[in-house]
Amino acid sequence: MALLPILEFPDKRLRTVAEPVTEFNDELRQLIKDMFETMYDAPGIGLAATQINVHQRIITIDTSEDKNEPLVVINPQFEVLADETEKMQEGCLSVPGFYEDVVRPNKIRLTAQDEQGEEYSLEADDLLAVCIQHEIDHLDGKLFVDYLSPLKRNRIRSKLEKLHRQHA
């Protein structure tokens, strides 16, 4: 098992569009274990492979209270199921210390594969629906700060750049 280093905004590598997973092997399953370990350690409720500089369409999620409902999301697609939206305060392990409101559809159907390559589909609402969309954005090189005003985004960028200089 291993904790993996997490890329932080405004790292350009977070803008990489991830490739579909084609091989469901032990190497993939080990990577997923390490992603869960990294996510639970943070602690976080979602992690996309992009954030650990692996540009494949892999996500780990656990939005449960007791952190005992791991969800493996590979090659995801989703459709919006209702016109309703949800305004939720989002954070991100790649934007540490910053939380801002983002509006997204709050009911979706996710279709994805698990770590064996088995396809599944589930309906998600509220926090899980938001988290799935946030993580799929990562696979497309998008971050929640992209939904904020340029002023807010630039303030966050400056503060994180300053922290990164201090820790360099």
Residues of the binding site for Fe cation: 92, 134, 138
Cα distance between residue 128 and residue 50, in whole Å = 19
Applying CB under 5 A, among 31, 92, 136, 145 the residue interacting with Co ion is 92
The reply to whether 93 sits near ligand QAP by the rule CB under 6 A is: yes
Q: How far apart are CA 81 and CA 125, in angstroms?
A: 9
**100 in catalytic set:** no
Nearer to ligand QAP, 24 or 157 (CB): 157
Q: How many residues bind ligand QAP (CB under 6 A)?
A: 14
Residue of 10, 46, 76, 105 interacting with ligand QAP (CB under 6 A): 46
Which segments of 12-164 are extended strands (E)?
46-48, 58-61, 71-80, 85-90, 100-105, 107-113, 119-125
Distance between alpha carbon 140 and the CA centroid of its chain, in Å? 10
Residue 70, contacted partner among Co ion, ligand QAP, none, CB below 5-8 A by kind = none
Binding partner at 130 among Co ion, ligand QAP, none, C-beta below 5 to 8 Å by kind: ligand QAP
CB of 35 to Co ion, least distance (A): 13
Does residue 20 interact with ligand QAP by CB under 6 A? no
The token pair at 71 is 């969800």
Is 139 within 8 Å of 57 (Cβ atoms)?
Answer: yes
Q: What is the DSSP letter of 19?
A: B
| 130 binds ligand QAP, rule: CB under 6 A | yes
Element (H, E) at 124: strand 119-125
- The answer to whether 52 and 5 have CB atoms below 8 angstroms apart is yes
Least CB distance to ligand QAP at residue 128 (A): 9
Residue nearest to Co ion according to CB distances in the complex: 92
Q: Which one of Co ion, ligand QAP, none is in contact with 4 (Cβ closer than 5 to 8 A by kind)?
A: none
Tokens encoding 60: 């780990």
